[in-house]
Structure 1
Amino acid sequence: MILSVQNVSKSFGTDEILKNVSFHIEDHEKAAVVGINGAGKSTLLKIIVGELTPDTGEVITAKGKSLGYLAQHQDLEGDRTIEEELLSVKSDVIAMEQKIRAMEEQMHHVEGAELEKLLEDYNRMHHQFELEGGYSYRSEVYGVLNGLGFSQEDYQKKISQLSGGQKTRVALGRLLVTKPDIILLDEPTNHLDMNSITWLETFLMNYKGAVVIVSHDRYFLDRVVTKVIEVSLHQAQVYEGNYSEYAVKKEKVREAQLKAYYNQQREIKHQEEVITKLKSFNREKSIKRAESREKLLDKINRLEKPVEEHTDIKITLEPNILSGNDVLSVEGLAKSFGSQKLFENLDFEIKRGEHVALIGNNGTGKTTILKILNGMLKEDAGVIRLGSNVYIGYYDQEHQVLHMEKTLFEEISDAYPELNNTQVRNTLAAFLFTNDDVFKRIGDLSGGERGRVSLAKLMLGKANFLILDEPTNHLDIFSKEILESALNHYTGTVFFVSHDRYFINKTAHRILDLSNGVLTNYLGNYDYYIEKRTEQETLTPSDAETVSKEKAETENKQDWQKQKQEQARRRKIANELQKVEAEIEMCEQKIAEIDEQCQDPAIAVNSAKLNELGSERAVFSEKLEALYEQWEVLSEDS
């Protein structure tokens, strides 16, 4: 065991954050700390590294083991370059290297006993230099910088000139090069693109020390961790496995707890009914039996009903108007900014009901495409066509129209007066605004908080084509799951940009990969995309040369044909469903008419007519039953 947290509690004033939290981390173990925003995850990390003192309990680190900590926000300053900042971690090795070089130079100028002594010192230091990675430290530093997305041109940039996100990446790089025995990371993927996140996953999986991660990136956690520590309702529960395994186990635990609770409640109710019945007999023996049962009932260790934060919150998305089948058609789209060409000759289509993710590295032009589609930027070339009855709902954190003087509650209730107070509060709670938060002014919110309010408004709107730019930024895992559920039940069309691979995996039917100015279509979710990419990357150079442009185009065309076939199948089923629903309505109407005729006094006494109507009704009822079954089968296939 390398780290032990024992009965740690922490409050800020009257706000209890952590209560008797206990868990341990083994050497080399990779663990995640998860929970909703405000649960106390960052507070827990700060207590572990000693930035905060617990009210009760203690944190024990194995003797001689070092801790390294990456906070969410960095305040790095100074005139060092990025390269100098990371190399400063290796100052001892660099000093040793310089001393070795000086010794080598000195050897030319001494002899005899002095030379022998110098050689002895040289060999000893040289051995130490090797042990401390003296021959690999530079490649190690540059490997980390490249992995975190810094180009060689970036190496000489001064820390003081960097953005907040770049400073966080430098701090992360510095920490990884330091190689502490225990790394604690608070949201390490926030400022990384997909390639850098993938690199970091591999680095941490192979890291020889222990790692504790607070992150909302579930795909990242699935790849890296083998233990999940859930902080909920001030306490901690430990689950073995990655995030997906934790989610399944957590649900099973909750189901078992609920089952045990309801079973006990049934037993208590049964015993109370028996006791009441025995007492009602008013016999001495019956009363003694009742008293005996009461004593047993008093001794029962009564289970509390399992509770969870915000389990009742759901968001329902449903467009008011059905769009045409062809939602969006883009041909020959091109855009440059000055001499920087982002893309040209981009072609793609989106059909009704599709959920399409646009992915690619930072700077490839993904957000630019969304802004062009929404009329916020002018394309250099190309044709954009929206289908009939298409109404766009656009989410862009920088351009949502919010009223700075209104409170959050007013912003939602004024925009959607049909919602009652509970519905408004539930909507805001789904996006992490609870209790008195709903009475904050929009103007007093941070950029991320305003983004969440904008997303809440968009989710309540009735648009049938949602265009979303990084919708999961600033959301915790619970809120992401609410959004995923809402989008998965949404019958409209969705086109979104996201770096959240778990979110893409859960919500995308198709992926468009924008790379080197070229758009590649993948008919599946993120796992399918990775599978196809891996197949392509495993080709040897000679194999790669034999894959002609025509073959690549053919594969793309086959994917497109599969998509067309799937859309045709869905349209056919939708048409058949429509016909079956019309027949069901007709049969139900006929049966209702027959029932009404049977109630006519004149027919009620006419047995021949009643038999005729009865036979007719039986025919329609049999047909209706078959139609119901046909509708169920079609619904399963749709």
Structure 2
Amino acid sequence: MILSCNHINKAFGTDEILSEVSFHIEDQEKAAIVGINGAGKSTLLKIIVGELSADSGEVVLAKGKTLGYLAQHQDLDSSRTIYEELKEVKQPIIDMEQQIRELEVNMQNASGEDLEQMLSTYSRLSHTFELENGYAWKSELTGVLKGLGFTEDEFDKTVSTLSGGQKTRVSLGKLLLSRPDIILLDEPTNHLDMESIAWLETYLLNYNGAVIIVAHDRYFLNRVVTKVVELEQGHASVYLGNYTAYSEKKAMIRAAQMKAWLNQQQEIKHQEEVITKLKSFNREKSIKRAESREKMLSKIQVLDKPAEIQDEMRISLEPNIVSGNDVLTIRDLSKSFGSTHLFSHVDMEVKRGERVAIIGNNGTGKTTILKIINGMLPADSGTITLGSKVHIGYYDQEHHVLHMEKTVFEEVQDAYPNLTNTQVRNILAAFLFTGDDVFKRISDLSGGERGRVSLAKLMLSEANFLILDEPTNHLDITSKEILENALKNYTGTVLYVSHDRYFINQTATRILELTGQTFLNYIGNYDYYLEKKDLMKELYVDSEHTERDRAIGTAAANGSLKATGVPGMAKSVAETEVKLDWKAQKEEQARIRKRQNDLKKVEDEIHKLETRDGEIDELLSQEEIYTDVARLVELNNEKESLQKKLEELYEAWEELAE
């Protein structure tokens, strides 16, 4: 065990973030910390590295082990170049190499005891230098920079001139090169393109140390981690396996907990009804039985209701009218910014009902294409044609469609003036804006909150063609899954840019990869793209961009795989199982109906006899009856008979009620 967190507690004011959080990390283990936004993931990382102190509990790091931490946001202010900034990490190796070279020179003129001492130092330094991979530090540094998406002509850029995302990549590179025993990464994939994320996955899988990751990238987590620590309502639960294994186990546990709670609630309600009924019989034996049941009920350890998912947006996307079959046609599209040429001769068609994902490395022009389609940027050349009755709904990752000076309430109400105040509040509540949250200014919202406002407006638009630019940015995993389900059930057409591979895999029916300044077309989801991309790129490169070979490439991507097996046998077994299940279900339903009918008959008979018993009591109090001996005996005999029958019915009712 290299790291353990024991009973960590942390609160900010009255808001308890972490409660009795405990887990451990083994040497070389790769683990994820997951949970909804605000669950305390980043807080926990900061406590582990010592940036925050826990209110109680302890973090124990194995003796002599080192930690390396990458926070979500980096603000490097350095006058060094990118290459020099990473080279600083290797300075001890560089100094050691310099010392070795100096010893080699000095040993030529040394003798006796001095030479022996120099040889000893030289041997020790050379061994350490080799262990630290000193001979390959330059290629290692270059490999990390290129892996993180920096080209060689960017190596000389000054760090202080970089964007926030580029600075984060520089910080990540420095951390990886420093090779601590435990790497802690907070959202490491946020500023990486797909190729860089794939490179980082491979790097971490082969990393000779432990890794703890906070990330919303489920594809990344699936590839890298073998343990998941979930934070929910302040408490930690540990699951072995990758993200999918965690998700499946979590769903099973949650379903079992909900079933157990519902069953117990049903049993409590049933016992309370039986107790009330027994007391209503108003006989000593029944009252004692009721009291016995009450005692038993008071000893039951009542299960807590499984917590509702806190961050559950309610998204319902539905077009108001159906578009024509041809939704979008693009011909010979080109765009450059000064000397930077993004793409040329781009052709694209989108048909009704398709969900098309545009992928490609950063800077290839993916977002630019969406802005051109929306009329936010002019194309240098080419035509864009929208089909009949196409109504666009646009989601902008930078949220330029939002008005920074408005409140959340005003943003929705001004866009949809026909909605009442109550309707606006209900819509915003569905996107987790409640109470005074609706009066926050857009400018004061976080990226995730602005994303939720944009999604609310998108839902209200009732558009039949959704154009989305990085729709999952700043959403936690739960919200991503809700958006995925909404898009899968959407009957309109979707065109989107995303680097979220899990999201693409779940939602895309077609992928367009922007590479080599043009599109390669794949008819399938992200897994299909991975399967075919090498073949497609080989065909594309060999074709020298001719139309004939482009057609071959598209045909290859349109290929499909056929399932093999023994379908007849599988169908037969499945049908038999369904028939058996159906028969058992019908028999159980018939048994329950019979018992309910029997119970109703017994209750009706009890009511009838109790009514007659009450009538006899009234008769027995009348003078003309209790002075008539024959009539008195007759009524007493009837009452005695009624009591015997009621006693039997009470017993039968209690048995049936169980």
Select 1:557's aligned residue among 555, 562, 566. Answer: 555
Q: Which amino acid aligns with 1:166?
A: Q
Aligned match of 1:81: 81
Aligned match of 2:159: 159
Alpha-carbon separation, structure 2, partners of 1:434 and 1:132: 55
Structure 1 residues 121 and 28 mapped into 2: Cα distance closer, same or farther (>3 Å)?
Answer: closer
Q: Which amino acid aligns with 2:182?
A: I
Deviation at 1:16, TM superposition (A): 1.6
Deviation at 1:536, TM superposition (A): 5.7
Deviation at 1:548, TM superposition (A): 11
Aligned match of 1:363: 363
Alpha-carbon separation, structure 1, partners of 2:110 and 2:155: 40
Aligned match of 2:224: 224
Aligned match of 2:440: 440
Aligned match of 1:482: 482
SS in 2 for 1:350: strand
Aligned match of 1:99: 99
Structure 1 residues 545 and 534 mapped into 2: Cα distance closer, same or farther (>3 Å)?
Answer: closer
SS in 2 for 1:136: helix
Query: Normalising by the residue count of structure 1, what TM-score does the alignment of the two structures yield?
Result: 0.82
Deviation at 1:316, TM superposition (A): 0.8
Aligned match of 1:459: 459
Alpha-carbon separation, structure 2, partners of 1:450 and 1:309: 21
Q: Which amino acid aligns with 1:300?
A: I
Q: How does 1:52-91 map to 2 (within 5 A)?
A: 52-91=52-91
Structure 1 residues 325 and 75 mapped into 2: Cα distance closer, same or farther (>3 Å)?
Answer: same
Alpha-carbon separation, structure 2, partners of 1:343 and 1:269: 67
Alpha-carbon separation, structure 1, partners of 2:543 and 2:190: 39
Bigger Cα displacement from structure 2, 397-406 vs 82-91: 397-406
Alpha-carbon separation, structure 2, partners of 1:163 and 1:383: 33
Aligned match of 2:176: 176
Q: How does 1:613-632 map to 2 (within 5 A)?
A: none
Deviation at 1:18, TM superposition (A): 1.5
Structure 1 residues 454 and 301 mapped into 2: Cα distance closer, same or farther (>3 Å)?
Answer: same
Aligned match of 2:270: 270
Structure 1 residues 32 and 434 mapped into 2: Cα distance closer, same or farther (>3 Å)?
Answer: farther
Q: Residues 444-481 of structure 1: CA distance to partner in whole angstroms, max 9, x if unpaired?
A: 33566434422321232122111111111121112212
Deviation at 1:430, TM superposition (A): 5.8
1:376 aligns with 2:381: no
Q: Which amino acid aligns with 1:291?
A: E
Alpha-carbon separation, structure 2, partners of 1:561 and 1:309: 41
SS in 2 for 1:302: coil
SS in 1 for 2:134: coil
Quick check: 1:431–1:479 contact (8 Å CA) kept in 2? Answer: no
SS in 2 for 1:185: strand
Alpha-carbon separation, structure 2, partners of 1:171 and 1:75: 9
Alpha-carbon separation, structure 2, partners of 1:486 and 1:423: 21
Alpha-carbon separation, structure 2, partners of 1:431 and 1:177: 42
Quick check: 2:313–2:479 contact (8 Å CA) kept in 1? Answer: no
Quick check: 2:313–2:431 contact (8 Å CA) kept in 1? Answer: no
SS in 2 for 1:332: strand
SS in 2 for 1:135: helix
Alpha-carbon separation, structure 1, partners of 2:272 and 2:353: 54
Structure 1 residues 108 and 74 mapped into 2: Cα distance closer, same or farther (>3 Å)?
Answer: same
Q: Report the identity percentage.
A: 67
1:28 aligns with 2:31: no
Aligned alpha-carbon RMSD (Å): 2.5
Q: Which amino acid aligns with 2:93?
A: V
Q: Residues 143-177 of structure 1: CA distance to partner in whole angstroms, max 9, x if unpaired?
A: 11111111222222222222211111111111111
Q: How does 1:334-483 map to 2 (within 5 A)?
A: 334-398=334-398, 400-416=400-416, 424-425=424-425, 427-428=427-428, 431=431, 433-446=433-446, 449-483=449-483
Structure 1 residues 306 and 390 mapped into 2: Cα distance closer, same or farther (>3 Å)?
Answer: same
Aligned match of 2:611: none
Quick check: 2:508–2:525 contact (8 Å CA) kept in 1? Answer: yes
Alpha-carbon separation, structure 1, partners of 2:297 and 2:515: 68
Alpha-carbon separation, structure 2, partners of 1:162 and 1:403: 27
Structure 1 residues 158 and 552 mapped into 2: Cα distance closer, same or farther (>3 Å)?
Answer: same
Aligned match of 2:607: none
Alpha-carbon separation, structure 1, partners of 2:263 and 2:421: 35
Q: How does 1:274-293 map to 2 (within 5 A)?
A: 274-293=274-293
Q: Which runs of 5+ in 1 are unaligned?
A: 563-638
Aligned match of 2:612: none
Quick check: 1:393–1:458 contact (8 Å CA) kept in 2? Answer: yes
Aligned match of 1:627: none
Quick check: 2:326–2:350 contact (8 Å CA) kept in 1? Answer: yes
Alpha-carbon separation, structure 1, partners of 2:426 and 2:245: 28
1:307 aligns with 2:317: no
Deviation at 1:15, TM superposition (A): 1.5
Deviation at 1:561, TM superposition (A): 9.2
Deviation at 1:314, TM superposition (A): 1.8
Aligned match of 1:566: none
Q: Residues 126-150 of structure 1: CA distance to partner in whole angstroms, max 9, x if unpaired?
A: 1222122211222222211111111
SS in 2 for 1:268: helix
Q: Which runs of 5+ in 2 are unaligned?
A: 561-658
Deviation at 1:103, TM superposition (A): 1.0
Q: Which amino acid aligns with 1:195?
A: E
Deviation at 1:435, TM superposition (A): 4.6
Deviation at 1:72, TM superposition (A): 0.7
Bigger Cα displacement from structure 2, 516-525 vs 60-69: 60-69
Quick check: 1:430–1:479 contact (8 Å CA) kept in 2? Answer: no
Q: Which amino acid aligns with 1:285?
A: K
Bigger Cα displacement from structure 2, 280-289 vs 291-300: 280-289
Structure 1 residues 44 and 420 mapped into 2: Cα distance closer, same or farther (>3 Å)?
Answer: farther
1:513 aligns with 2:513: yes
Deviation at 1:222, TM superposition (A): 1.0
Alpha-carbon separation, structure 2, partners of 1:546 and 1:394: 36
Q: Residues 581-617 of structure 1: CA distance to partner in whole angstroms, max 9, x if unpaired?
A: xxxxxxxxxxxxxxxxxxxxxxxxxxxxxxxxxxxxx
Aligned match of 2:9: 9
Aligned match of 1:526: 526
Aligned match of 1:243: 243
Alpha-carbon separation, structure 2, partners of 1:121 and 1:373: 67
Alpha-carbon separation, structure 2, partners of 1:530 and 1:368: 25
Alpha-carbon separation, structure 2, partners of 1:319 and 1:548: 38
Aligned match of 1:199: 199
Aligned match of 1:320: 320
Quick check: 1:452–1:474 contact (8 Å CA) kept in 2? Answer: no
Deviation at 1:241, TM superposition (A): 1.6
Aligned match of 1:38: 38
Quick check: 2:28–2:210 contact (8 Å CA) kept in 1? Answer: yes
Structure 1 residues 29 and 124 mapped into 2: Cα distance closer, same or farther (>3 Å)?
Answer: closer
SS in 1 for 2:388: coil
Quick check: 1:83–1:155 contact (8 Å CA) kept in 2? Answer: yes
SS in 2 for 1:85: helix
Q: Which amino acid aligns with 1:456?
A: A
Deviation at 1:79, TM superposition (A): 2.0
SS in 2 for 1:401: coil
Alpha-carbon separation, structure 1, partners of 2:478 and 2:221: 15
Structure 1 residues 524 and 422 mapped into 2: Cα distance closer, same or farther (>3 Å)?
Answer: farther
SS in 2 for 1:346: strand
Quick check: 2:536–2:556 contact (8 Å CA) kept in 1? Answer: no
Alpha-carbon separation, structure 2, partners of 1:347 and 1:197: 28
Quick check: 1:428–1:434 contact (8 Å CA) kept in 2? Answer: yes
Structure 1 residues 277 and 398 mapped into 2: Cα distance closer, same or farther (>3 Å)?
Answer: closer
Alpha-carbon separation, structure 1, partners of 2:339 and 2:544: 32
Alpha-carbon separation, structure 2, partners of 1:501 and 1:182: 26
Deviation at 1:30, TM superposition (A): 1.1
Bigger Cα displacement from structure 2, 247-256 vs 339-348: 339-348
Aligned match of 1:494: 494
Quick check: 2:447–2:474 contact (8 Å CA) kept in 1? Answer: no
Deviation at 1:266, TM superposition (A): 1.7
Q: Residues 511-543 of structure 1: CA distance to partner in whole angstroms, max 9, x if unpaired?
A: 001101121110001111011125568x8x9x9
Alpha-carbon separation, structure 2, partners of 1:105 and 1:433: 72
Alpha-carbon separation, structure 2, partners of 1:59 and 1:423: 48
Alpha-carbon separation, structure 2, partners of 1:184 and 1:430: 34
